[in-house]
Every structure is written in structure tokens, then in C-alpha cells.
């Protein structure tokens, strides 16, 4: 029984070793090939996590192949701490992503608008809303050319070549939620869309007192990046991504627990 457990633990640690190498290579690639700081934001987490998995898996492989009690003791201790860390992080992610983002109904316009992020009683929204953090996020959105859809850009170029007028509705339908929040003025403002990026303010002014209407600019580097609606869009987008990360963590947690249980069986035998 102990021999079978050793084989399984060694095999699973080889898988863990491969994952760790993949993380380190991915982090190094982003650090070398990344064009901006935004693209390099995952560099450190990937390299650190990959390094930990590498060390852990190597100790596990040494412990099972050499039947070293000391290596297995260190291995199981580190594995237990890693499981606790992944579990704590997963719980934390679920806690900050399952609080509903506040919404308010504007009775006069019958349009649902997001509240100011300062009204959100959750950790993620408060972090996004901090001035220094938002400056970095805004810089990333601009660097990523958020308000330019490449698919529409290609279609636009083709339509120009054949002397046709591009359909603004085609562009609007191609936008995802984050682009709608950051690349367009709120509907309640009553602005007139001239083309995919230019909006005209009525002579009488915005049709709503929403402060986002005053923050809108046709400048490609300004747009609605200072709008509360954009901040809410970023929070919602982060929540979706972090929920996906939490699901990945659950799979990783199950895998680590399996290895730990087999390691305990091997150690006891």
C-alpha cells in the first residue's frame, strides 16, 4: 500500500512540477515581452507561485524516491500551509465578489444607473476608488486601447475602401460591458453620437444632472475614464475575473488535498 501511495505521490508531484515550471515561464515571458507595467502586473505572482510549486514538488519527489522521512515531513508541512493559504485566499475572493453592486433607479429616466463607488460597502470597490489605484487602472485602460474594437476597426477600414458609411449601431453592439461603461457617456446625458468615438452635447446642455455628463470628453485619452460608471464597470469586470480565479483555486485546492492525503498515507506507511 505504501509503495502504491509513493508512486501516486511521485506522479502527482511531477504534474505539480510541470505546473510550477509553466507559471515561472509565463511570468518571465510577461516580464520580458510585456509592453507596459499593466501587462507585467502578474509577473511577480506567477513567478512566486511557480517557484513555491517547484520547490514543493521537488521536495516531494525527493521524499518519495529516496524514502526520506525528513523530506516527507518538510513536504507535508509545507503542503499543509499551502493548502491553508489557497483556502484562505479562495474564501476571501468569494467574500469580496459576492456582495451585490449597488444600483439605483432614476425614476425620471426609467434607466438603471450604477451608484458612486464610494457607496459600495465592499473591499474591492474601495480599492478601485482610491485615487492612486484609479490612476494606474485608468492608465492601463488607455494603454490597452479599451475604446478601440479591433474587429470594428477592420470593418470600418473596409467600408471606407468601398465608400460606404459605417453603421454606428454595429460598433455599439460590438462593445462589451466595460467599454460601454468607460467609452460612452451615460444614456441619461442625452448626447448625440456622431461616430464611434465622438458625441455631441446638446446646445441646451445635458438632459440630466448626473455628474458623469460633465466628466465625459471626446478626447481618446479621457472619454469617460473619470466617470463613476467606468469605476463601477471596472469593479464588475474584476468581480467576474476573480470569481473565475476562485473556481480555478477550488480545482487547485482539491488537487493539493489529494496529494496531501496520499502523502500522509505514504508517510504513515
- pLDDT at 172 (0 to 100): 65
106 in a structural domain: no
- Asked if pLDDT for residue 65 goes beyond 90, the answer is no
Q: How many residues does the chain have?
A: 269
- pLDDT at 4 (0 to 100): 66
50 in a structural domain: yes
135/233 same-domain check: yes
149/237 same-domain check: yes
248 in a structural domain: no
Contact in structure between 96 and 123 (CB atoms under 8 Å): yes
181/259 same-domain check: no
129/30 same-domain check: no
Percentage of the chain exceeding pLDDT 90: 9
232 in a structural domain: yes
Give 69 or 36, the one with higher predicted confidence.
69
Range of the domain at 260: 1-97+253-268
233/149 same-domain check: yes
- pLDDT at 81 (0 to 100): 92
Number of domains observed in the structure of the chain:
2
> What mean pLDDT is predicted for residues 181-195?
86
- pLDDT at 21 (0 to 100): 92
147/60 same-domain check: no
- pLDDT at 29 (0 to 100): 85
Gap between the Cα atoms of 84 and 80, Å rounded: 6
36-56 confidence digits (pLDDT tens):
666 666 788 888 888 988 999
210 in a structural domain: yes
pTM of the model: 0.72
- pLDDT at 140 (0 to 100): 85
Amino acid at each position: 500500500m505504501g509503495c502504491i501511495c509513493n508512486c501516486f505521490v511521485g506522479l502527482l508531484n511531477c504534474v505539480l512540477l510541470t505546473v510550477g515550471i509553466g507559471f515561472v515561464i509565463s511570468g518571465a515571458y510577461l516580464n520580458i515581452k510585456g509592453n507596459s507595467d499593466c501587462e507585467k502586473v502578474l509577473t511577480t505572482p506567477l513567478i512566486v507561485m511557480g517557484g513555491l510549486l517547484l520547490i514543493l514538488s521537488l521536495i516531494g519527489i525527493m521524499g518519495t524516491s529516496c524514502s526520506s522521512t525528513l523530506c516527507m515531513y518538510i513536504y507535508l508541512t509545507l503542503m499543509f500551509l499551502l493548502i491553508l493559504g489557497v483556502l484562505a485566499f479562495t474564501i476571501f475572493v468569494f467574500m469580496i465578489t459576492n456582495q451585490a453592486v449597488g444600483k439605483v433607479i432614476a425614476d425620471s429616466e426609467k434607466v438603471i444607473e450604477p451608484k458612486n463607488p464610494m457607496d459600495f460597502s465592499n473591499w474591492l470597490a474601495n480599492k478601485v476608488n482610491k485615487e492612486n489605484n484609479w490612476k494606474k487602472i485608468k492608465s492601463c485602460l488607455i494603454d490597452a486601447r479599451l475604446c478601440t474594437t479591433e474587429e470594428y476597426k477592420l470593418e470600418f477600414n473596409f467600408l471606407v475602401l468601398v465608400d460606404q458609411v459605417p453603421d454606428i449601431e454595429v460598433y455599439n453592439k460590438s462593445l462589451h460591458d466595460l467599454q460601454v461603461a468607460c467609452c460612452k457617456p451615460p444614456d441619461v446625458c442625452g448626447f448625440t453620437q456622431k461616430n464611434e468615438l465622438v458625441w455631441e452635447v446638446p446646445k441646451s446642455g445635458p438632459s440630466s444632472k448626473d455628474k458623469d455628463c460633465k466628466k465625459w470628453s471626446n478626447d481618446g485619452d479621457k472619454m469617460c475614464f473619470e466617470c463613476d460608471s467606468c469605476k463601477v464597470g471596472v469593479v464588475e469586470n474584476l468581480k467576474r475575473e476573480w470569481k473565475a480565479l476562485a473556481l480555478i483555486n477550488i480545482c487547485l485546492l482539491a488537487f493539493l488535498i489529494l496529494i496531501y492525503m496520499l502523502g500522509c498515507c505514504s508517510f504513515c506507511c
